[in-house]
Amino acid sequence: MTELRAKLTSIWEGDVLWERPMAEYSTIRVGGPAAALVEPASLAELLRLVRGLRQHGLPWLVVGGGSNILVADQGFAGVVVLLGRALATISGPVAAGDGQLVTVEAGCSLAKLVAWGAERGLSGLEFAAGIPGSVGGAVVMNAGAWGGEMAERIVAVTVIDRQGESADLAREAIPFGYRSWGLGDHIVASATLAFTRGERQAIEATCRELARRRRETQPLGLPSAGSFFKNPPGLAAGRLIEQANLKGQRIGGAMVSEKHANFLVNVGGATARDFLDLMRLVQERVAQAYGVQLEPEVRIIGVPE
C-alpha cells in the first residue's frame, strides 16, 4: 500500500480517496475497499493517468455508474478510475443528413442523456428510459431494452487502450454483440450517437410509459446490479430461474427477486459472498433442470479465479 501511494501521488496531482468502500459506488451496495479512487475531469487527465498507471505497473480498473458490477468483499488492491460527473459533457446536436448527432462523455448518466434528448425533441434513446448507469458503461455493455440497444444509435466512439493511446473508432470498427461491445478492456472516453427529430411530448410520453413498465416488472426499490444473467440464445434467463422455483431463494442478505427472477437483490446486510454463493446456486439449479449454463451479465471484480 505504501508503494502504491508513492507511485500514484507521483503521477496524479488531483484528489485521491484512499481505502474507499466500493459499496458506495455500486448500485448493489456491496464491495470492499479500493486501495485508491481517482476521478479525472477531462480526456487529457484520463490519458495522462492511464499512461502513468501503465508506466508504474499499478493495477487499475474503470468504473462508471456502478450499475453492473459486483466487487468482492476484500475489495480491489489497486486504483479505481471513476468516470463520473466530472467527465459528463453533452455536445450538440449537429445536423448530419436526416439525423442529429450528439457527442457525450462517458461519465454522463444514461438517464440524463435520455432526458436531455427528449427535452430537445431528439428521438432514438427512448428504449433506455430507466436504465441506470453511465453512457460509457452502456456502450461497453451494449445496453438495451424493449427491442432497442446502444449499438443501433452509435456513430463513433473515442476509446483509450491500456497503453494510454486514444483513437476515434467508427461504428463499423466496433464488433458489438449481445451485451458486449467486443473491445475487451479498452476504455470509452466519449461516444457520438445519432438521433432523429421528433415531437417532444411524444418522446417524453414514450419514455414515461417504458419507465412505468420497468417499475411494474423490476424490483427498483431494492439495491441490485440490474439484470444479473445474460439471456441464453432464444431463452429468457429470468423465466428459467423462475421455472426452477428460485424466486425468493435467499442466502444471507442476497435474494432472487420475487418480482423479476433475473434480479438478485440486496434485502439488507448482504455481502458480496452472499451474492456469489446465490449466483452459483442459481447456475447449478438451472443447469440441473434445463441443461443451460447461465452466464453473468454483471462484471465481477476482485474474486480469485
Catalytic residue positions, numbered: 179, 227, 297
Nearest one of 159, 192, 158, 156 to 172, comparing CA atoms = 156
Q: Which residues of 93-117 are buried (b: 16+ CB within 10 A; e: fewer)?
A: beeeeebbbbbbbbbbbbbebbebb
How far is Cα 124 from Cα 195, in angstroms, rounded to an integer? 5
Q: Residues for the chain: how many in total?
A: 305
What separation in angstroms does the CA of 86 have from each of 46, 81, 237, 268, 299? 11, 12, 36, 31, 23
Largest pairwise CA distance in the chain: 57
Give yes or no for a contact between 128 and 112, defined as CB atoms under 8 angstroms apart: no
List of residues 6+ apart from 288 with CB closer than 8 A: none
3-state secondary structure string, 214-229?
Answer: HHHHCCCCCCECCCCE
Give yes or no for a contact between 108 and 89, defined as CB atoms under 8 angstroms apart: yes
